Each structure stands twice: as structure tokens, then as C-alpha cells.
């Protein structure tokens, strides 16, 4: 039986993120301003063709697969990368606190977009905040670190957009934000997980130290319609 996380985007679009989902029973996608993730019920050339026809706009899209796949020719592969899918199996430290962490609302979106463009933790656009649960750390009025939630394939919740301004590295901000997300997710009886580029040894070691364990290496395809 296929694991929920073998198709995280499809299961998120069908469960925890279904209020944001567009499409049909075979091909689903998020609104262009929310997220580039797209998915099909099963991986096949026919379903990829249906996905192509179902999405009513041209853009770049991200398709996640549990192994390497063939992409039909009508799609253009812009980029391909391998990511480790890591699931939290540790214990949340008793001293995890949200002190100094600011809930991020729509008023902060310009700063959030600017920070993610600078640090490139993954796609973040004007309505990505609708996935919810974003928190940040500020230096005065300047957003210098943040983290939030993305895909929500019930009962799993993906931690995403974990990033710190280069001038503020080494202060433990990312770890604080990450553990705060882990605590929040576990408090609602869900399971934290995340994706990280397979070659990002530094980040992987940090995640392992915090209690994340690699479940599987996943294939990410950036496609253009």
C-alpha cells in the first residue's frame, strides 16, 4: 500500500489543503498565487496530459514523485532535483517557547517574499501565507527569520520556508522556529515532516540533531506549461 508521503502534494490537495485545491478527481493544483505544486491521483502519461489540460494558466509547476519518472513531451522540464523527505521522530524539548516569535499576517507578506528571494528556501509567493502558521523573528521592524507550514497531507504537516537573513546566521533562529513548528504540529496530533535538498549536508545534520529521520529520497520536477 502506498504511503501518504509517497504522494504528498496529491494527498495534501485531497485532505489538509483541500480548501485551496483546484482541479478534479484525477488532476489537482493550487491557485497560481498560492503555490506551484501540482499532482495526479496516479502517475501516468494519460494523467499528466489531463493535468496539462486541467490547469487553465501557463506557469512553472512542481511535481513530486517517490522515484524518477518519465514526463510527457508537452511539458518542458526546467529543473530536476533530489530531496530527502524527513519525518520528525524525536522528542520536543520541554523548554521550547514561542517567546519573541511573531505570528506573520498579510501585512508582512512583502517582507516574507523579500526574505525568501534572498535565501531561496523554496517557492514563496503572495498567497503562500494561506497555508498558515507562519512565524518570524524581527530586528526592530525588519523580518530576519521565519518558518511556516506548507503541504498538509493528513495526518502529516510539512514545515517549510525555514530561512534566516544572511546577516543573522549563527544565532539559532532557524532551530527555534523549527522546533516551535514541531511543537505546534504535534499539539494538534499531526506529524511534522520536511523536504531538504539531498546535497545540503549542513541542513540535514541540523535536522537530524533536532530529531528528524530520513524516510525517503524524493524526485522533484520543475515543469513549464
Residues 38 and 64 grouped into a single domain: yes
- pLDDT classification of 149: cutoffs 50, 70, 90: very high
Residues 21 and 101 grouped into a single domain: no
What rounded mean pLDDT belongs to the chain?
95
- pLDDT classification of 203: cutoffs 50, 70, 90: confident
pLDDT of 208 > 90? The answer is: yes
CATH code at position 75: 3.40.630.30
For the segment 4-22, the average pLDDT, to the nearest whole number, is 98
* Residue 157 DSSP SS3: strand
Residues 16 and 93 grouped into a single domain: no
Query: What are the pLDDT digits (tens) for 128-139?
Result: 999 999 999 999
pLDDT of 1 > 80? The answer is: no
Residues 55 and 113 grouped into a single domain: no
Residues 22 and 38 grouped into a single domain: yes
Total count of domains within the chain: 2
Domain annotation covers residue 220:
no
Residues 79 and 90 grouped into a single domain: no
For the segment 60-74, the average pLDDT, to the nearest whole number, is 96
Cα separation of 126 and 111, whole Å? 11
The DSSP bridge pattern shows strands 60-65 and 37-40 to be parallel
Q: Left if phi > 0, otherwise alpha if psi is -120 to 50, otherwise beta: which for 221?
A: beta
Contact predicate 34/130, CB 8 Å: yes
pLDDT of 209 > 80? The answer is: yes
pLDDT of 96 > 90? The answer is: no
Domain that holds residue 138: 86-215
> What does the pLDDT read at residue 31?
97
Domain annotation covers residue 224:
no
Residues 92 and 202 grouped into a single domain: yes
Q: Residue 223 has which C-alpha cell?
A: 515543469
Which of 29, 60, 83 is at the close of a domain?
Answer: 83
Residues 93 and 203 grouped into a single domain: yes
Query: What are the pLDDT digits (tens) for 162-191?
Result: 999 999 999 999 999 999 999 999 999 999
For the segment 61-90, the average pLDDT, to the nearest whole number, is 96
Residues 94 and 172 grouped into a single domain: yes
For the segment 122-148, the average pLDDT, to the nearest whole number, is 94
Amino acid at each position: 500500500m502506498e504511503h501518504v508521503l509517497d504522494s504528498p502534494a496529491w494527498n495534501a490537495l485531497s485532505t489538509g489543503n483541500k480548501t485551496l485545491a483546484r482541479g478534479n478527481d484525477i488532476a489537482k493544483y493550487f491557485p497560481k498565487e498560492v503555490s506551484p505544486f501540482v499532482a495526479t491521483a496516479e502517475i501516468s502519461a494519460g494523467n499528466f496530459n489531463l493535468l496539462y489540460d486541467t490547469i487553465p494558466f501557463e506557469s512553472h509547476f512542481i511535481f513530486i514523485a517517490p522515484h524518477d519518472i518519465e514526463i510527457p513531451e508537452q511539458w518542458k522540464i526546467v529543473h530536476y532535483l533530489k530531496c530527502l523527505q524527513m519525518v520528525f521522530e524525536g522528542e520536543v524539548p520541554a523548554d521550547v517557547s514561542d517567546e519573541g516569535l511573531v505570528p506573520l499576517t498579510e501585512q508582512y507578506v512583502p517582507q516574507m517574499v523579500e526574505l525568501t528571494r534572498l535565501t531561496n528556501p523554496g517557492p514563496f509567493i503572495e498567497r503562500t501565507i494561506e497555508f498558515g502558521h507562519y512565524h518570524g523573528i524581527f530586528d526592530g521592524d525588519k523580518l530576519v527569520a521565519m518558518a511556516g507550514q506548507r503541504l498538509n497531507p493528513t495526518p502529516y504537516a510539512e514545515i517549510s520556508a525555514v530561512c534566516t537573513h544572511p546577516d543573522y546566521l549563527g544565532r539559532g533562529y532557524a532551530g527555534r522556529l523549527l522546533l516551535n513548528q514541531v511543537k505546534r504540529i504535534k499539539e494538534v496530533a499531526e506529524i511534522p515532516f520536511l523536504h531538504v535538498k539531498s546535497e545540503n549536508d549542513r541542513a540535514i545534520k541540523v535536522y537530524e540533531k533536532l530529531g528528524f529521520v530520513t524516510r525517503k529520497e524524493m524526485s522533484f520536477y520543475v515543469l513549464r506549461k
